A = this chain, B = another copy of it.
Amino acid sequence: MDAQSAPAGRVKPVGRGAKVCAAVLAATLDELAEVGYANLTVEAVAQRAGVHKTTVYRRWKDRETLVVDALTEHVAADLPIPDTGDVASDLRELARLLVTHLTVTHLGVAATMFSDAGRLPEIADVRRRFFADRFRRAAPLVTRAVERGQLPEGTDPALLLKSLIAPIYLRLLVTCEPLDDATADHAAAITLAAARAGVFRAHDAHGQSETH
């Protein structure tokens, strides 16, 4: 199907549609941030986008599809993985990038991914793929540090990375405290200290490597 890019005589006058589509998706994110998924109404989204309700339903099958599209588009940003040569700097930078990514738009949007909208199978998939991709791409950061001798042999990248993001998501979802660079630096410090102590060395079960 090359009818998309080739200017072969009148296929799709998508001049209007693109702008409307973008406006509706942006309005959806704004509404999600303000009232949350449970209280999100299609009419409010349409009104905020300067568009009629039926226009929304013409392009999206139902409310869920709309929310899925809006959130999917929002997380479709592939963050870079730092590589400074020092594991402490790498972790600190990685955490700061995550904090920035979570706070670029309204903070409420990111939290929505983990609220009731997360019960939608599509959103759960988006989340799964997001973390799988990030962990896969950030793993070399850890293995490089092990090769440099900065971290113990057998350090499990996934365990370490989960420890790095845990304090950040705790503030976002549980304690509802603001996210800033200090948050990221603190998370990096915790994880680095634990990693140097060998807490993240791979083992059969996932848990205690500590000699109690």
Contacts and interface: CB of A to CB of B under 8 A. Distances in A.
Interface of A: 35-39, 88-89, 92, 114-119, 124, 127, 131, 159, 162-163, 165-167, 169-170, 173-176, 180-183, 185-186, 188-194, 196-197, 199, 205-210, 212
A193 B210 CA distance: 9
18 contacts: A35-B119, A36-B116, A36-B119, A38-B119, A39-B116, A92-B212, A162-B175, A163-B167, A165-B174, A166-B170, A169-B174, A170-B170, A182-B207, A189-B207, A189-B210, A190-B194, A192-B210, A193-B197
Given A162-B175, A212-B88, A190 B190 contact: yes
Contacts of A189: 194, 199, 207-210
A49 B192 CA distance: 50
Nearest to A197: B193
Contact of A206 (B118, B124, B174, B186): B186
A89 to B, nearest CB: 7
A45 to B, nearest CB: 16
